[in-house]
Amino acid sequence: MKVKVGIIGVTGYTGGELLRLLLNHPYVEIKKATSRSNAGNDVTLVHPHLEKEISLVEEDFEVASFLEGLDLVFLALPHGKSAPLVKEIYEKKVKVIDLGADFRLKDSNDYEFWYELKHACPELLPESVYGLPEIYKEEISKTQIVANPGCYPTSIILGLAPLLANKIIDTETIVIDSKSGVSGAGKTLTEITHYTHINENLLAYKVGNHRHIPEIEQELSLLVQSRVCVNFTPHLVPMNRGILSSIYVTPKVSITEKELADFYREFYQGCPFIRLRDKTRLPQTKWVQGSNYCDLAPVYDERTGRIIVFSAIDNLVKGASGQAIQNMNIMFGLEETAGLGIAGMYP
């Protein structure tokens, strides 16, 4: 028996990526897909690379009828659009994975502050689980609502978790310098993401006020059981896919690179999508391109006494749609790697 899924908001990059990956999933049937901009047309009109792989006319969207016959719904919508839908889906007892931001922050005040929007169903926040399987696998397996993590937070939390869980670092020293390919900015046309502007260009943006900050701090705080405040600076890099986070922290204790590596190996034991590397083979975004891996390398700099962690993911896979499928697998008791055995594409 296959899991019957629907995708709401299938037009964007994460929607397309869900299709690409689910098409290869042995235990899933893509039953329905919908989006405002492509209603009435086949999904391949907006995703021509999938022609001949799938044929699926997008429905005019009406929640109740859309849910009929579905086991799970993926939401790939802008923030603010998911919350009301999740409420309805939840009431219909259908499982839902929200790839947007509406259920990532546990505190609706934080949501209101950072997203400048009142949350539509704060009562469901405690019901939802932050969908980072390397940390919340157990909770994910039991929930009906998964809040799929943001791309930057995924790379960063996975990079820091072993250090925080083991209380190795001074949490006041965390500096995170992240670099992202342009697909992270989505399909919306902007001056910054116009080809001739961002090609052969490099810049920081939203310094100190990116909406992934509260999400990062919430999860790091939970790991270390105390309030963590970080510097997070995102940069835009002229490439399509990939995030590399370079994370600088000061240890509270004396530590060797070998011990560091051990902490990571232990923490991520049994995690199929974590690949540990080291300073002789630092993570490169191209090595995770198209795949669900997160490549990690903690490095200890003896000269300065700082630890530097490098974390690379494909922002559209482990940073979005791949992780959503990993969550789905866990929610339905499937093998965690099902449908995600697609190797990365190089070059």
The smaller minimum CB distance to its own copies, of residues 90 and 115, is found at: 115
Residue 302 found at the interface with its own copies (CB under 8 A): yes
* Region from 70-78, 90-98, 121-129, 303-311 binding its own copies, contact rule CB under 8 A: 303-311
DSSP 287-333: GGTTS--EEEEEEEETTTTEEEEEEEE-TTIIIIIHHHHHHHHHHTT
Q: What does residue 118 show for φ and ψ, rounded to 5 degrees?
A: -80, 135
Return the range that interacts with its own copies (CB under 8 A); candidates 73-81, 92-100, 116-124, 301-309: 301-309
Residue type, 7: I
Site string for its own copies, 158-177 (x = CB under 8 A): -----------------x-x
CA atoms within 13 A on the CB side of 294: 32
Closer to its own copies by Cβ: residue 193 or 221 = 193
Q: Does 286 bind its own copies (CB under 8 A)?
A: yes
Residues 317-346 that bind its own copies (CB under 8 A): 341-346
CA distances for 333 relative to 94, 105, 142, 340, angstroms: 16, 26, 10, 15
Contacts (CB under 8 A) with its own copies, residues 196-225:
196-205, 207-208, 213
The catalytically annotated residue of 121, 151, 229, 294 is 151
Catalytic residue check, 151: yes
Residues 48-107 that bind its own copies (CB under 8 A): 48-53
Q: For residues 331 and 323, is the Cβ–Cβ distance under 8 A?
A: no
Binding positions for its own copies, 120-149, rule CB under 8 A? none
The β-bridge relationship of strands 3-8 and 28-34 is parallel
Helix pair angle (322-331, 133-142), 10° resolution = 40
Distances (CA, A) of 89 to 25, 83, 145, 268: 23, 10, 9, 33
User: Rule CB under 8 A: is residue 239 a binding residue for its own copies?
Assistant: yes
Closer by beta carbon to its own copies, 50 or else 120: 50
How many C-beta atoms lie closer than 10 Å to residue 185's C-beta? 16
**For its own copies, which residue of 1, 195, 269, 270 counts as binding (CB under 8 A)?**
195
Out of 310, 324, 326, 329, the only residue in the binding site for its own copies (CB under 8 A) is: 310
Candidates 240, 251, 332, 336: give the one binding its own copies (CB under 8 A): 240
Member of 246, 251, 263, 332 binding its own copies (CB under 8 A): 246
C-alpha to C-alpha distance for 157 and 136, rounded to whole angstroms: 12
Number of residues that bind its own copies (CB under 8 A): 84
Binding its own copies (rule: CB under 8 A), the pick from 36, 194, 227, 252 is 194
Which residues are catalytically annotated? 151
